[in-house]
Amino acid sequence: PRLELAWAMRAHQHAQVYFNLISSVEPKFLSLTKVDDRIYAEFRRTFRELRVDVLDPEELKSEAAK
């Protein structure tokens, strides 16, 4: 149990650092991996009509969305 607690505390610290880093940069300038552009292009090819600026959880759960 102590090892698991220590791991969880360390993971939480890392998560805070990464969150602070990605929160301090304007999203259009943020690049997390070398293939971000490819991932986004594939996402847009698959979900052409999905508005990512306004996501409605109920709309995502609809039969049409499934």
DSSP-based three-state secondary structure for 49: coil
pLDDT digits (tens, 9 = 90+) for 6-27: 999 999 999 999 999 889 988 8
Answer yes or no: is 66 within a domain.
Answer: no
Confidence of residue 29 (pLDDT cuts 50, 70, 90): confident
Give the separation between CA 66 and CA 64, rounded to whole angstroms. 5
Is 9 in contact with 16 (CB distance < 8 Å)?
A: no
Is 59 in contact with 65 (CB distance < 8 Å)?
A: yes
Answer yes or no: is 25 within a domain.
Answer: yes
Residue ranges making up the domain that contains 40: 1-61
pTM score over 0.85: no
Number of Cβ within 10 Å of residue 44's Cβ equals 11
Residues 6 or more apart whose Cβ sits within 8 Å of residue 22: 30, 32
Answer yes or no: is 52 within a domain.
Answer: yes
